[in-house]
Amino acid sequence: MSGLVTPGRAPGTVVCCCDAGPAAGTGHLMRCLALAEELAARGSTVRFVADLTGLPFAARRLAAAGFCWVPPGPDPVTAVLGAGAPDAVVLDSYLLPPSVGARLHAAGVPVLALVDGDSPVQPADLYLDQNLGAERDPGPAPRLAGLRYALQRAEIRAHRPARPPVARAGRCGVLAFFGGTDPYGAAPVLAAALAATGVPCDATVVAATPQLAAAVRAVPVPAGQRRRVIGPTDELARLVTEADLVVAAAGTSAWELACLGAAAALVCVVDNQRAGYRRAVGTGAVAGLGELAALRADPAPATTALRWLLSDRAERTRLHATAWHLVDGHGTGRVADALAALPYADQGLSIEGTGRARRAPTDRLP
């Protein structure tokens, strides 16, 4: 597969504890899944602690990849330690209190914590900020920072083209998706902006819920355009590579789109995406459609940008190439290598309140 790394040593058991839910979305879960796939390929047993209640698509995705999950419950630390006496823990959460990382750290369990700029920070042995330009920002240490460490799922790496795509001539195919749950309802807003361009195209809109699907279908389709509305899909990477233009939210999926060499137009759907959105647009690797809150009141800026992109094949070719060079697809392997270099804990002294045993980390650096 294109972009895969050669598997190396990995911890025996890893537990990924991450945010997920109708409001939190699935971005944290998907990037943990990317790392879990790499660790499993190297021989680790990986389990998840996440609340996937109400997210059947996400639960099916984990099951298909061979991973089980348990909810965090009232005490996430107990859930993490009970999920398999981990040799390491990955924390990816804006919601968990810092006491979770502190208790795991005190118990001698090595912790890798994912952060995004100024997001909440858990006490950890190693931090990962996979966002564009993070290597130039202040942040907790020690830290892996920047798109060199962007976590890409096996599906994404398998579909990464060997060279930058060249925009196809003729009628454009458009793919629009806004995360696993689209909690801010971007799909109907951008479907309307696309319709307002009046440019002939074939659009596939991924609607995260039946309610959003109904709202998208209620948007009139102008003459010359065709629209297909589908639910969450396991074929997203393939659909991206087949599309001439991708419209998406400026979240974790932006780096997946870059890895795939997509010609992408991004919308900033929530405040904590603003810095990443501006940086991504600033690279010239993606087109900017604006902020969702503003587009609800006046979709004209997005309509203008989409009309230009649908009509300008040279610009789409430029976006393909610039994005493809931005993310090389090897970040998951680099992070797994760094996790393997942490010292791991063996069975030993008991951990108060868990009924499990572990002694302080021993030095097993390669």
Cα distances (angstroms) measured from residue 317 to each of 23, 127, 217, 294, 309: 35, 35, 30, 28, 10
- Asked if residue 108 and residue 82 are part of one domain, the reply reads yes
- Asked if residue 181 and residue 48 are part of one domain, the reply reads no
Distance CA 62, CA 74 (A): 23
- Asked if residue 233 and residue 189 are part of one domain, the reply reads yes
Q: Which of 39, 33, 115, 19 is nearest to 334 (CA)?
A: 39
Q: Outline where DSSP puts E strands in the chain.
A: 13-18, 45-49, 69-70, 88-92, 111-114, 126-129, 143-145, 172-177, 201-206, 225-230, 245-249, 264-268, 287-291
Does the residue 8 lie in any domain? no
Q: What is the pLDDT of residue 356?
A: 36
Instruction: Share the mean pLDDT of the chain.
Output: 90
Does the residue 364 lie in any domain? no
- Asked if residue 334 and residue 315 are part of one domain, the reply reads no
- Asked if residue 264 and residue 168 are part of one domain, the reply reads yes
- Asked if residue 224 and residue 264 are part of one domain, the reply reads yes
State the CATH number of the domain containing residue 266: 3.40.50.2000
Does the residue 350 lie in any domain? no
Distance CA 278, CA 145 (A): 18
Does the residue 353 lie in any domain? no
Q: What is the pLDDT of residue 343?
A: 78
Does the residue 123 lie in any domain? yes
**pTM attached to this predicted model:** 0.89
- Asked if residue 199 and residue 133 are part of one domain, the reply reads no
Q: What is the pLDDT of residue 107?
A: 87
Q: What is the pLDDT of residue 117?
A: 86
- Asked if residue 284 and residue 200 are part of one domain, the reply reads yes
- Asked if residue 135 and residue 182 are part of one domain, the reply reads no
Q: What is the pLDDT of residue 137?
A: 94
- Asked if residue 242 and residue 305 are part of one domain, the reply reads yes
- Asked if residue 209 and residue 194 are part of one domain, the reply reads yes
Q: What is the pLDDT of residue 118?
A: 85
What range defines the domain where residue 298 resides?
Answer: 161-326
Q: What is the pLDDT of residue 348?
A: 29
Q: How far is CA 174 from the centre of its chain?
A: 21
Task: For strands 172-177 and 245-249, give the pairing.
Answer: parallel
Give the residue ranges of the chain where pLDDT is below 50.
1-7, 345-366
Q: How far is CA 26 from the centre of its chain?
A: 8
- Asked if residue 44 and residue 123 are part of one domain, the reply reads yes
